[in-house]
Amino acid sequence: MSSITESDLHARFPWSKPVVPSLTDQEKSDGYFTDPPPWDFDESVMRLIEQMFLEIESMFAEKNAPVEIAIYSMQELFGELQVEIFSPDPEINKIVRKYSRLSRDLFSANDK
């Protein structure tokens, strides 16, 4: 099985590219926002993210609607996948929470 990268996921799911808001130089120097960290996860976590994205796309396809989602960052925090995300559809938050819970086992397995 080949390794999956953040670039691979962005190519397959263009809507998954993290949103980086436009800020003035002053806002940047004040620390209002930094570039999102790269998705440097183990293969198993990257596959889980891929499954999450497939479920998100499927949900929008069932509604015959475009994918409306903004990802701000994705990182490990306290042993689980934390996804900073916005979508007007409340189902998206349920899907993300589900995969965050599933990631706990993967992160704990990687720590051993």
Residue type, 102: L
Look up tokens 């559809």; give the residue.
89
The pTM for the full model equals 0.84
Q: How confident is the model at residue 94 (pLDDT cuts 50, 70, 90)?
A: very high
pLDDT digits (tens, 9 = 90+) for 27-52: 777 776 667 788 889 899 999 999 99
1 part of a folded domain? no
Half-sphere exposure of 30 (CA within 13 A, CB side): 6
Range of the structural domain that residue 25 is part of: 6-111
48 part of a folded domain? yes
Please list, in sequence order, all residues whose beta carbon lies within 8 angstroms of the beta carbon of residue 17, skipping any fewer than 6 positions away: 10, 71
Mean pLDDT is lowest, of 1-15, 61-75, 91-105, for 1-15
pLDDT score of 1 = 47
Q: How many domains does the chain have?
A: 1
Distances (CA, A) of 69 to 29, 88, 107: 28, 8, 25
Q: Are residues 74 and 81 in contact, defined by beta-carbon separation less than 8 angstroms?
A: yes
* Cα angle value 37/72/79 (rounded, 5°): 60
Say whether pLDDT at 88 is over 80: yes
